[in-house]
């Protein structure tokens, strides 16, 4: 069984409910789940590196990543760029893509979901994502604790390389 040394997540539709909320003045809001946030804290305390890779480029995500103290944040990454971003992180960490767990929900996540050691998607992911061979389909929807569900599953199945040096 592969041991996971890096946990990566998409943002919109995974850490959020995929909604884009705007005020009349144009301010944007995103709903994040605190249970997911605690999942990132648990990973950090276990010594697992974390990151977010998203196609959006917003200050909201930058602030959320800072609050969660993720090790890596890549914004503005589309389609194959998400896999390239993950490979860049792997090179920096001197690990293989097979030692990565990733959760994504939409077509711009496909190549990365197919490449990682353990892949998962929220319950409300697109059918094309749910049909990826070997993907773990979670019970919770994006923004409703799907990331935490995945993290707890990884801990329960002892997929993390917690005793790594």
Burial class (CB in 10 A: 0-12, 13-18, 19+), 29: exposed
User: Which residue numbers belong to the known binding site for Mg(2+)?
Assistant: 10, 105
* Residues 6+ positions from 48 with CB-CB distance below 8 Å: 4, 5, 6, 7, 160, 161, 162
The candidate with the shortest Cα–Cα distance to 92, out of 147, 120, 55, 51, is: 51
Binding residue numbers for substrate: 12
Residue numbers belonging to the annotated binding site? 10, 12, 105
Distance between CA atoms of residues 104 and 106, nearest Å: 6
């Amino acid at each position: 069984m592969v041991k996971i040394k890096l946990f990566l997540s998409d943002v919109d539709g995974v850490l959020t409910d995929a909604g884009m909320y705007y005020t009349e003045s144009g301010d944007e809001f995103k709903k994040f789940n605190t249970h997911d946030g605690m999942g990132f804290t648990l990973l950090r305390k276990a010594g697992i590196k974390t990151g977010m890779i998203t196609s959006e480029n917003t200050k909201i995500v930058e602030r959320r990543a800072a609050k969660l103290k993720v090790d890596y944040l890549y914004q503005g990454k589309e389609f194959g760029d998400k896999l390239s971003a993950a490979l860049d992180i792997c090179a920096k960490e001197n690990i293989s893509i097979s030692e990565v767990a990733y959760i994504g929900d939409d077509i711009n996540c496909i190549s990365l979901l197919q490449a990682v050691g353990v892949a998962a998607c929220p319950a409300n992911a697109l059918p094309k994502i749910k049909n990826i061979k070997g993907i773990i389909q979670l019970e919770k929807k994006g923004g409703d604790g799907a990331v935490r569900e995945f993290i707890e599953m990884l801990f329960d199945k002892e997929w993390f390389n917690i005793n790594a040096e």
